[in-house]
Amino acid sequence: MRWLSLAIAPMPQSMRRKSFMLCYLKGKDPALVALAEREERNMQKKLSTIIFIQMRQCSGFDTSGYIDYADSLRACSLHMLGATNWRLVFEERILLQPNRTHLSFYDWHSGTVHFNHSDNYEVMRFGTSLTFKHKGDHKIIPVTMVDSPHKDNVKRTFIRSPLYGCIILYDHIVRKPS
């Protein structure tokens, strides 16, 4: 019975990894460094980050999307089908790409738009305006630059990156974890 209690006992603080993907960060790309800095707080649900990224495809057309960072990290750690492989992203072996399963996806060539809820966010559309509602504390996260009564719920960070061009990180401090 003693082996059972040892098997389910929590790991000592000194043996726990501080960050899941930070150890794979190879380069000094500002976008990847910023994501690595936010990873632990996102996994602990103290911070919730939405990533806006716009990528040019081989065809010359762009795709853009909003990615729930914590949800994407969780899907990667559970090895879910179609999940972003963050290890390869941080090793700079693949580029982070928006896809149809993320919060929002827009293909500029075909004009198709996809919206999906995640474990952390509900997508809210009002005409041409897009906002997200955090499911844990029910705060509205506006992603437009238009003045909004909800602008204090989020901190926007613009990052210029040699790999990704310009990405925007929307950081929301979670007041009541879900």
Contacts of residue 123, Cβ cutoff 8 Å, sequence gap at least 6: 103, 104, 115, 116, 117, 130, 132
**Nearest residue to 46 (alpha-carbon basis) of 137, 123, 131, 116:** 137
The count of other CB atoms within 10 Å of the CB of residue 85 is: 13
User: Running DSSP on this structure, what letter comes out for residue 11?
Assistant: P
The pTM of this model reads 0.85
CA distances from 139 to 37, 151, 154 (A): 23, 10, 9
Q: Of 163, 143, 160, 159, which Cα lies nearest the Cα of 151?
A: 143
Letter for the amino acid at 18? K
Q: pLDDT tens across 68-119, in order? A: 999 999 999 999 998 999 999 999 999 999 999 999 999 888 889 999 999 9
- 10-57 confidence digits (pLDDT tens): 444 433 444 567 788 888 899 999 999 999 999 999 999 999 999 887
